Structure 1
Amino acid sequence: MQTTTQSNPNLRSLTGLRFLAMLPVFLTHAAFEGVFTDEEVSWGFLDAMGTTGYMAVSFFFVLSGFVITWSYRPTDTPRAFWRRRFFRVFPNHVVSYVLALALLSSVGLGVGVLPSVTQLFLVQSWVPDPVFTDTGNSASWSLVVDVAFYAIFPALLTLVHRIGPNRLWYWVGGMVAGVALVPAVALAVLPDTPGMPLGGVSTSQYWLTHFFPLFRLLECVLGMLMARIVLTGTWIRLRVLPASLLVVLAYGLAQQVPFLYRLNAVTVLPVALLTAAVAVADAGGRGTPFDNKVMVWFGELSFAFYLLHNLVLKYGHLLLGHTEEEGELVGRTWGIPGGIALIAAGFAVSLLLAWVLHNGVEKPVMRRWSRRKRTPVTEVIT
């Protein structure tokens, strides 16, 4: 455990970087909507996004492990930690869940009882069936990983703190190797059918690599290890700019390998190095492009934005007009100016709703219930 009870420096740049990472997630989901009448433009948009959204999701898992380890205090208790995490996640999730059901109803769609229940209680990603992960507020699948990570974090932290500082980098290598091994396992042991529309892989292979919480926990633990490396002074002194270039180079390399390896296997280590490099810059008082007030403000809204943006894109698109093709609802399309305007409007509406959710639910709930109220001590005079 950490030997100091003092708080570590605030990681403003990582907060700002959160929203920068949200942009490819938003744009990837926008590309999947196919809002352009010209199919070449729609497919070109999707091709241009590549696997940037997947890399961003990997960053969020690494970031979660890093930040929670960085901020955890020896005086904290598992119960207090779980209380804070519960009130951080579930109120926003429930609001977005109810909104998703309302929007589904508004376009004449429904959700099966079992998938709906699993999504409410954030266990849907454990089920290897797209019906469970692609329904309602489909973005909430990643919260299943977060909840699993939070549940075992106190135990994981104890184990991570038992690793000697001189061995932390070996464990980093082990986590990276584990992440890279997952797609190989999926391709080797799972059937090739039924196939997905993209990627040339089966739905079960994709589920094991992308959704399965147990394997995504490897990225969270990698984030924990990187935090311990920084806190124990065993960081390699890599600066933000070269770390950023490594991410860009790794992403370019990832586009040359089979689809499942593109999701996170090639990019997870550079992403973890960038996370640590940004934290070191913050701790050392060095400015970064991500620590200005605007970026930090956007970053504070990122969790609410993440939960709401796909609802706005998907159901907003359908509410503007749709047809039924082969049993599925397909939203109307526009020319290039109209499609760009629609995506920009989706971003603006998502941001506005995120501000409302953050300030109307997330912050008040955290202030009111995330910490146990201290019982006033009455002095007894004898």
Structure 2
Amino acid sequence: MPPSTTPVDLTGRDRLPSLTGLRFWAALLVVLYHLSRQAGEIPGVSALAWYGRSGVTFFFVLSGFVLAWTYDGRRVPVTVFLWRRFARIWPLLAATTALSVAAWLALGKAVTAKAVAATLLLVHAWVPDPVVLRGGNPAAWSLSDEAFFYLIFPLLMALPAVRSVRGRRWIAGVCCVAVVALWLSGALLDDSGTRAWALDYLPLTRVLQFLLGVVTGLAVARGWRPPLGLWPAIALVLGWHLALVPWSAAVPDALWYSPYTASHLLVTPLFALLVAAAAQADRDGRTTGLGGTWTVRLGHWSYAWYLLHEIVIRVLAGRVHGTLTLWLLVLATSLGLSAAAYHWLEHPLERWLRAVGPRAGQAPAWRWPAQSDGVPGKSSRSARTDVRSAAADRAQSSPPGPDNAR
């Protein structure tokens, strides 16, 4: 579609509204995946969502993209950055972990203090023991990965390779090759449990997805235009998930060459293209159908939905007759709870913690030097919309889980 004549507001919380809208669809994919696996299958829908765990890959790529977009060229103390990320993800993690433990106990299943502590300390994805990995809130494992990404993000932004056009191209190419190599490395791991932990949960494995998001976000912020439009990128992602249907029918999940691990590793470049195309469409002022009022609102709720839906499935499974009835009840209940959690807990606590914590302007601070990246007569900051950069420090930053930069 041709660009709109109305200037795009890139200064607020939803300065890239199509990305906020995409968060909802990625969260829905994860929810349908868990429903299919834990609450019974619905023909057609379950076949497409059987490997909806790939939605987490989307959130990791999106996290790197939005953080790079938000902090490029800004002078921000590392303590301020890390506190903002803590304020964004931890309060709701703590609340949903308490709710999850209560659900486990109500269902007669013991939960170890070690598992709860590992979850609250955001280190559980580093532990191969399933009891620790899933004992607090099973869906929260991705936040352990996110915490690692946040810790290394300032270091990534300081890398000379990340600060150059050629370096970013090399990094993007290496990430795309490496995710394929990781999938192939599954042939070296005979135990399916060890393989799943090493290739699906371990933060060191998932960091490639975050890194590809970082270099893609910087490239778009500095003037690179993705080769595909939004809808062709969406078609590629849909085509990938359609291809998983016959693949999953032919190869059991326990085998290394099944789509179980491939589903979330090999889709990484496709999600990077999708995020870049959606962001570029917003920058151009094009209508995408993803940035409407309700889509953005659902995107805001997606982080809470991600953390709450599996708890609701656990509580209702086996107590509601009929798969379709159970699905509808889980979707309605979990989404309603997510809306309440966002408006009454998640967002207010984030704002309060940001207000009482360290603020920008305090030393020491890291900053990415402004560069032209080959744009004649323009620095990287002036090549973007100036008002976005000037207002970013007072805007609420958006993430895995997920919000825009989770």
Q: TM-score range by the shorter chain?
A: 0.7 to 0.9
Q: What do residues 347-380 of structure 1 show as CA deviations (whole Å, max 9, x unaligned)? A: 1111111112111122111222214477xxxxxx
Aligned to 2:339: 355
Task: Considering Cα pairs closer than 8 Å and 6+ residues apart, tell me whether 1 or 2 has the greater RCO.
Answer: 2
**C-alpha separation between the residues in 2 aligned to 1:340 and 1:97?**
27
Number of residues of Structure 1 aligned to a counterpart in Structure 2 = 338
Aligned to 2:364: none
Q: What do residues 217-252 of structure 1 show as CA deviations (whole Å, max 9, x unaligned)? A: 110011001111112223344210111122223334
Aligned to 1:312: 312
Q: What do residues 317-374 of structure 1 show as CA deviations (whole Å, max 9, x unaligned)? A: 2xxxxxxxxxxxxx3563xxx3212211111111111112111122111222214477
**C-alpha separation between the residues in 1 aligned to 2:351 and 2:85?**
13
For the 8 Å contact 1:180–1:261, the answer to whether it is kept is: no
Aligned to 1:243: 233
For the 8 Å contact 1:126–1:213, the answer to whether it is kept is: yes
For the 8 Å contact 1:58–1:268, the answer to whether it is kept is: yes
In structure 1, runs of 5+ residues without a counterpart are: 1-5, 36-40, 193-201, 318-330, 375-382
For residues 123-138 of structure 1, the aligned pairs below 5 Å read 123-138=123-138
Point out the more displaced range, 257-266 or 208-217.
Answer: 257-266
> Amino acid of the residue matched to residue 131 of structure 1?
V
Q: What's the TM-score, normalizing by structure 2?
A: 0.78
Q: What do you get for the CA RMSD once the two structures are aligned? A: 2.3
Aligned to 1:224: 214
Q: Which has the larger radius of gyration?
A: 1
Whether 2:60 is the aligned partner of 1:55: answer no
For the 8 Å contact 1:180–1:266, the answer to whether it is kept is: yes
**C-alpha separation between the residues in 2 aligned to 1:121 and 1:297?**
29
Q: Choose which of 340, 365, 368 in structure 1 pairs with 2:349.
A: 365
> Amino acid of the residue matched to residue 346 of structure 1?
V
**C-alpha separation between the residues in 1 aligned to 2:263 and 2:280?**
26
Q: What do residues 254-297 of structure 1 show as CA deviations (whole Å, max 9, x unaligned)? A: 55463345222321111110100000001111110111111000
Point out the more displaced range, 161-170 or 91-100.
Answer: 161-170
In the TM superposition, what is the alpha-carbon distance from 1:162 to its structure 2 partner?
4.2
Aligned to 2:104: 104
In the TM superposition, what is the alpha-carbon distance from 1:94 to its structure 2 partner?
0.4
In the TM superposition, what is the alpha-carbon distance from 1:86 to its structure 2 partner?
0.5
Point out the more displaced range, 254-263 or 138-147.
Answer: 254-263
> Amino acid of the residue matched to residue 70 of structure 2?
S
User: CA 1:78–1:140 in 2, change beyond 3 Å: closer, same or farther?
Assistant: same
Per the alignment, in what secondary structure is the counterpart of residue 238 of structure 1?
A: coil
Aligned to 1:206: 196
> Amino acid of the residue matched to residue 34 of structure 1?
A
For the 8 Å contact 1:34–1:333, the answer to whether it is kept is: no
**C-alpha separation between the residues in 2 aligned to 1:126 and 1:284?**
41
> Amino acid of the residue matched to residue 15 of structure 1?
T
> Amino acid of the residue matched to residue 33 of structure 1?
Q
Whether 2:19 is the aligned partner of 1:14: answer yes
**C-alpha separation between the residues in 1 aligned to 2:53 and 2:358?**
40
Q: What's the TM-score, normalizing by structure 1?
A: 0.82
For the 8 Å contact 2:97–2:116, the answer to whether it is kept is: no
In structure 2, runs of 5+ residues without a counterpart are: 1-9, 248-256, 360-406
